[in-house]
Amino acid sequence: MTTFTALPAGEPASIAVHPTRKLSPINPNIYSGFTEHMGRCIYGGLYDPANPNAHLIDSHGFRKDVIEAMQQLKVPVVRYPGGNFVATYHWLDGVGPREKRPRRPELAWAGVESNEIGTDEFMEWCEVVGTEPYLALNFGTGTLDEALAWLEYCNSSSDTYYANLRRQNGHDKPYNVKYWALGNECWGPWQVEQMTKEAYTSKAYRWAKALKLLDPTIQLILCGQDGTSSWDFHTLSTCLRPDVHALGGSATSSLIDMHSIHMYTASSDPVKNAIAPRAAERAIEICAGLIDLARIENGVLPSVPRQLICFDEWNVWDPSRAIGSEGAEEKYTLSDALAVAIWLNVFIRQSKYVGMANIAQSVNVISPLMTTETGLIKQTTWWPLLLFCKYMKGWTVATHVSCDVYEGPTEPAWLKGVGEVGWLDVSAAVDEEGWVSMCVVNAHLNEAQEMEVEGLSVKDGLVEVHEIGGKAWDVSNADGTQRVGIEERKWDAKGKFKFPAFSITMLRWKT
């Protein structure tokens, strides 16, 4: 958590960090990914067997450079197969001999799905990457029988039909998929079989009971909206309740383990774009309050672990600029990199409430990674993501920021009305080895911020400095030329530190 004091313009800013005050653990799953059958994410992203550059492709047809990038991030969980795609996806189409798999119309993104990649191939990819799968269930055209069959196929070790079908397809051991989503954005008018909140909660609760009767070890994620809506309130207040029968009398478990919320931010104005993710912070706080309210009103026992927020779609995305049905390939700028750093600062500050977060998406589609026929482009947004995945681990620590306030309009407009937005956005963490990492985003286009950093207690007298900036707010790496990256140096921790205008700076020191 970072507290904030607003200063009048012109007064010197300051940051105070308290590494000994550990506030809440940081769940590694906040650095998770998302792959959907959309655009070039799966075909041409994860899987590219027809690429003439054979050295880029492994024996399964997977892109080796994408796998290496995901391993570099140590991505803990990857959500699949959607997204909007899942509302017409039938998992049985994607198993068994490839030559017998049907080609289907794909309604979410106006395409055709070959089903060349399905459950077993995705599980193989996850194993190679070293990540866990997170599967979304079809709440559009799917049935409960179909969902139960998929769970049996993935997780059962019994001598039963779908477990034996998995064995017949060459996979003797169960995959033990832990995370399952009860649909995706079922509230949205773009969805196949959009639902009312009443219809959704009735269906979700019935499915949750059946799924946990089959496998009580799984974690189920409820479909929320953005954490601030009447949909979120209704689904939480209806579904977060005790159900002794469905849980075998357990007083330490729940049918619902997490609540999913989605948000994308974007603006054509570079500063509004950079600070827009602060809206996600308020959304998390509101949603956390709704979870508490539901537990209190429904008499959920304190022995049942508190449900967490699964922020399983987040990123910078302007759908008018990167059209979904055309592949949604964003070309990210330095401004977008600052926005991603603030997104990640939010997750660190709110680590008490966030059990998972999944950047949407992991490759090609609104992604920090873009494949070409000859290699991999790391967009501007890759670099803050890399810094956080490598270093922001352990526990959130108490931090206080004093600086002047951005006074302009915000996107969304309501952001300005629910709290002050400082020019500096800060989070800090300490890991098990005593390394403190503090990320500071200076969103001011023209003014550097020079200040004392209180709380530095440096063991060897040097602070690591990792800095991301550029010559202009709109510089991009999308053409393959790296104009934005990480510059590293050391600082002796003496005197004041200057945070450059419109930059991301991570300071690291050993206490």
The Cβ of residue 480 has, within 10 Å, a number of other Cβ atoms equal to: 12
Helix, strand, coil percentages in the chain from 3-state DSSP, rounded to 5: 30, 25, 45
Please say if 185 is a catalytic residue. Answer: yes
Set 36, 121, 152, 185: catalytic member: 185
Closest listed residue to residue 227, CA positions, set 282, 162, 164: 282
Q: How far apart are CA 328 and CA 378, in angstroms?
A: 16
Q: Are 355 and 43 in contact (CB under 8 A)?
A: no
Closest listed residue to residue 290, CA positions, set 244, 353, 236: 236
Q: What is the DSSP string of 299-325?
A: T--TTSPPPEEEEEEEEE--TTTS-GG
Residues 6+ apart with CB under 8 A from 129: 67, 70, 71, 75, 78
Please say if 313 is a catalytic residue. Answer: yes
Residues 6+ apart with CB under 8 A from 434: 19, 459, 510, 511
Q: Are 180 and 211 in contact (CB under 8 A)?
A: yes
Q: Which two tokens stand for residue 373?
A: 């026929």
Amino acid residing at 445: L
Set 36, 113, 121, 313: catalytic member: 313
Q: What is the DSSP string of 184-201?
A: S-TT-TTSTT---HHHHH
Active site residues: 185, 313
